[in-house]
Amino acid sequence: MPQSNYSPRRSVLYVPASNARAVAKIPSLACDAVILDLEDSVAPADKIPARESLKAIFANRPAGPREILIRINPLDGEWGADDLLAAIACAPDGILLPKVDTPRDVLEPGDLLDDKDTPESLRLWAMIETPRALVNIAAIAELGRDPAARLSCLVAGTNDLVKETGILPTADRRYLTPWLMQMVLAARAGGLDILDGVANDFRDVEAFSRECGEAVAMGFNGKTLIHPSQIEQANTVFSPSPEALAEAAEIVAAFELPENAGKNVLALDGRMVERLHLIQAEKLLAKAAAIKGANE
């Protein structure tokens, strides 16, 4: 995604659409985005009431988070088709599609959005949470290069991947990490954002902080959350550090000096700095400015 269009997605909180108390707290949340959930966090008996609650929620769209999305149930199941129609009618910022296995699982909902003449600003996000999704990840992510597909973000469904593959869910996520890196690589190839999966024990602050740091190091844009107490830490870890911003500003300033005009490489504090580092520095500063603007 071009940095001029950067959208902060450091902290993305799942909120059960069936939980009126949780929904009522949305305006006070400092997360970058909220996903109103109709799927995993909603019991079967509450699926239809949760869907019906969406109309009232969006009639007075909550302030606070910059983006509000709806996660529907799988389209090949009992509730998914009606969920998608209800979500389209609410005109959220995006619709999160679960159990995406192939590009067709994105293209078919996108066709329906076109048929309903929904605005192009309504985007699709895709959960990557099955073995088939990982096998097809490159083709799925490539849809990010096609504006007509509307795909703008991938979301790692780590809990489902653990369940579907039978791997051991260790604290250091050693068996998940290769797949997470595969997702990041595909997302970058497709020009998409990519969000890390949830940390299940929201009381374990140390483990959550470690996962956020690992996700930043792997290249994720942000993390999906299950509890408001995780928002502040995610925002902090996924924001550029003061040290990184100071270094970026120093690189930009060095290339702006008249004596460095036209140079592709220069020496700065005893190290060689190339124009690719200038581009990275400019992107980092633009990211920080976008985050600051979103918080004002």
**Binding-site residue ranges:** 71, 129, 160
Give the SS3 label for residue 196: strand
Q: In whole angstroms, what is the distance from residue 113 CA to residue 118 CA?
A: 6
Annotated binding site for substrate: 71, 129
Please, are residues 133 and 100 in contact by the beta-carbon 8 Å criterion? yes
Number of H helices and E strands in the chain, helices first, is: 12, 10
Q: In whole angstroms, what is the distance from residue 14 CA to residue 144 CA?
A: 23
Annotated binding site for Mg(2+): 129, 160
Six-digit token string for 25: 């707290």
Give the torsion sign (CA, 27, 29, 32, 35). negative
Give the SS3 label for residue 257: coil
Contacting residues for 52 by C-beta, under 8 A, at least 6 apart: 86
